[in-house]
Amino acid sequence: MTESLRGRPSGPWRRALPWFVAALLLATVGVPSAAATLPYVRSGTTVGYGTAASSTLTVTINMTDAPAYAPAYANVPQGTQVTFVLVNQGNYSHSFTMTTQPSYRIPSNYTPGQLNAFFAKNGSLANVTVAPGTTGYANVSFDAADALRSFEFVSIVPYQFQAGMLGFVNVTSTGPGVLLQEGTINAPGFSPNQLAANASTFPIVLDVLVTNLGTLPHTFTVVPQSNVTITPANFTTYFQQHAPLASANVPASTGGTVWANFTVFAAGVYMYICEVPGHFADGMEGFLYVGVPPPPPAPTPSTAIVEVWVLVGSAVLLGIGVVVTAVASFAGRFPAPPRSPGHGH
């Protein structure tokens, strides 16, 4: 006995077909969308936050035949005796000789004789010569009077200082206030170009340790009024009328440091710039947020270009989806013609 196809129930594949088509179409949209968003990252102006100074009792300084110290500068807390572990990694003798003059840079054009005469006259906090492949030690005490000062150390072995073998010890403070770190680069610019200091009571003391990450000279000059923006065209006149909160000269050598210590009397946003001719005009500026939150980083629009294979694959999937949808539509709406009755039993 024959059975009419018109009343035949749908098979499992027909019930699953709409879900398959929907998934296929979703893939054609999702694949290129996901590919476009892979390189999408949130980026914006970097922010440096103030943190409490850490206590360091032992500092290791490596000596190399470059000649150079590694690291070339270190932070130590006030009121602490620091043991410097001096590791000579080279094949020549080197010395670790620290000046007694705080925040003073020995002229880089000093001859070996002038350098020796300088230490003979002013003395040294440490003077240790280390033989090749050996380790030496220097113990130096930094009291409260040394807080927020920098001490240069050099090698007095002839012509090593002249070749760049020098470094700095920066003494941090455990007293009231906020310690911040700032860097300058050759771009020119500040890195970071935003600083944030949490404060709820005023006045507050800010101690900014500015380190030269490049080789050019810079200044760290802070506008004394909050929420005031100056420009390259008017900053000279402005500072003649309003003395800056701080104006520190950053040494023109990689790793050179300087303290900028100043008092802020009210919450707000304080601008800081570099006064070296041309640097401010080239964008060397930053903002200090005291007692107010810095703005959140702005998202950067994606500039991703979807790969060709993704576009081709999406087009193929979309075409398949259209064909399958059309076939399913016709197969579901137009039943097969009835079969002719048979003649035999």
Give the model's pLDDT for residue 234.
96
Task: State the helix-helix crossing angle for 308-333 and 12-37, rounded to 10 degrees.
Answer: 160
User: Out of 94-108, 144-158, 238-252, 294-308, which region has the weakest mean confidence (pLDDT)?
Assistant: 294-308
Tell me, what amino acid is at 176?
P
CA torsion angle for 69, 75, 80, 86 (degrees, to 10)?
-10
> What does the chain come to in residues?
345
What DSSP assignment string belongs to 299-329?
BPPP-----HHHHHHHHHHHHHHHHHHHHHH
Measured distance CA(332)–CA(344) in Å, rounded: 32
Mean pLDDT of the chain: 80
Number of CB atoms found within 10 A of residue 196's CB:
20
**pLDDT confidence of residue 310:** 59
Vertex 210: Cα angle to 204 and 214 (nearest 5): 160
**Distance between the two ends of the chain, CA-based, in angstroms?**
9
So what's the pLDDT on residue 49? 47
**pLDDT at 46 (0 to 100):** 44
Question: For residues 203 and 300, what is the distance between their CA atoms, to the nearest angstrom?
Answer: 37
Report CA 116 to chain centroid distance, whole Å: 39
Query: Tokens standing for 175?
Result: 């007293």
Residues 6+ apart with CB under 8 A from 198: 49, 50, 178, 291
The pair of structure tokens assigned to 299 is 């998202």
Cα separation, 222 vs 226, in Å, equals: 10
What's the pLDDT band for 35 if we cut at 50, 70, 90? very low
* Whether residue 138 has pLDDT greater than 90: yes
Q: Give residue limits of the domains in the chain.
A: 51-174, 176-296
- Indicate whether 13 pLDDT > 80: no
Q: Percent of the chain, pLDDT > 90?
A: 46
Tokens of 138: 């220097």
Residue 45 pLDDT > 50: no
Block residue for tokens 């790969």: 307
pLDDT of residue 17: 59
pLDDT in tens, 259-312: 888 889 999 999 999 999 999 999 999 999 999 999 887 666 655 555 566 566
Domains 51-174 and 176-296 share a fold: yes
Is the predicted pLDDT of residue 39 greater than 80, yes or no?
no
Are the C-beta atoms of 64 and 334 separated by less than 8 Å?
A: no
Q: Which of 116-130, 150-164, 203-217, 252-266 has the lowest mean pLDDT?
A: 252-266
165: left (phi over 0), alpha (psi -120 to 50) or beta: beta
> What is the value of pTM for the model shown?
0.54
Tell whether the model's pLDDT for residue 74 goes beyond 70: yes
Residue 40 reports pLDDT greater than 90? no
Residue 115: pLDDT above 50?
A: yes
* Dist CA 75 CA 258 (whole Å): 12
Look at residue 335 and tell me whether its pLDDT is greater than 60: no
More confident residue, 190 or 317: 190
For residue 341, pLDDT beyond 70: no
Residue type, 147: A
Q: Which CATH number fits domain 176-296: 1.10.260.40, 2.60.40.420, 3.20.20.80, 3.40.50.300?
A: 2.60.40.420
136, 63 contact by CB (below 8 A): no
Which CATH number is associated with domain 51-174? 2.60.40.420
Please give the average per-residue pLDDT across 1-7, as a whole number.
46
Euclidean distance between CA atoms 32 and 338, whole angstroms: 46
128 near 138, Cβ under 8 Å? Answer: yes
Residue 125 pLDDT level (bands cut at 50, 70, 90) = very high
Highest mean pLDDT: which of 45-54, 251-260, 305-314?
251-260
